[in-house]
Structure 1
């Protein structure tokens, strides 16, 4: 999908301008940018796996799976370091300008958001032992399960948008996030109404899980808005990052 109507910036798959006269140095740089974009996608897929595990832990309380999820986070952290260093190396060597610089700076931000999403998924995973307690309150647990489903759906949209460099899909993220906001408001209202000797314990567990899921959605929207900035050059899309 092409950038939105009225955009004055045009990118070649968001990885720099076209080769000038087939210059071999330029061709090599473009190839490196394309490779970087694909590596970001690989990291994003790993985060998607983390979110899938998170969802299963939340719905089952599987503590063995929770340990697998916790151990796998090291892979995401390693990719963050490796790809961040790659971006800085390209900036140092190539001194990019215009769309190329915008791409590299945007990748740096997207990498941070992906790592943050993975970390937030672990906050949910670490509550595996509390899942039976959460399940005991059926209405609240349904809300949490719905929030996890929305978070995963939003992330899939963001991943597809990055893979296809689709500005339209990225635009849809903010609209879908309103569903998450509604679920979170419902959760908080329910928590405020909790009573009884176990209410405080249940409230803490629910807030930890619910807040993490809500923040996953927020960071996913930032990925989408950063992609819109990358594809259009419009700085208005950076406003979502100011929270």
Structure 2
């Protein structure tokens, strides 16, 4: 059998590699990490962030779950939000309650223990008053200082705009997955400025946020999935008539 010269073998190998370059990475047979994706993994970190922001701006609904640290207080939340309102649960410093906002109307629902702490819980009358509020929706007056603080957790645009910012020089991080969806991570300040995991499938929505300075971790899911949002029945609404706080 006649052997091909070494130079001819090299030329043939090079031709094969060139022909497969569109589908393979090198000649090792490794799969293209961007095959079947939305292509944002090929972009710079700044452009990925821009695409994610654009996707958020065009979204109609989202679910946020995880923790947020603000003004030294940690809140755990699980909220479904859309244009015009939101519903979900929030907890902080041992207090857990449900929030519901429909338009400008904000309602809070909690158990008797929560309301007993509002009353002071120092007398039988306090306990009796708290029991009447147990598992009922209380309308939070717009003049109550708690209104602005709590309604912010039900405002999709305000909440996302305040949470999604990274700080420092942007860089592309590792590929991974969130909830079974492939993602690409972008970081700010080498990670100290937060990180954002952006979907590589379909619309490049942000799917996980790690806030700068350890200020919480949130997962963002159910993008554009609508849900029912309506005011409580009148029989389930009671008037509290006092200022509401959210901690002990």
Which bracket does the TM-score occupy, shorter chain normalised? Answer: under 0.3
Structure 1 or 2, whichever has the larger Rg, is: 2
TM-score (norm 2): 0.24
Give TM-score, length-normalised by structure 1: 0.24
Name which structure has the greater RCO, CA cutoff 8 Å, separation 6+.
1
Higher strand share: 2
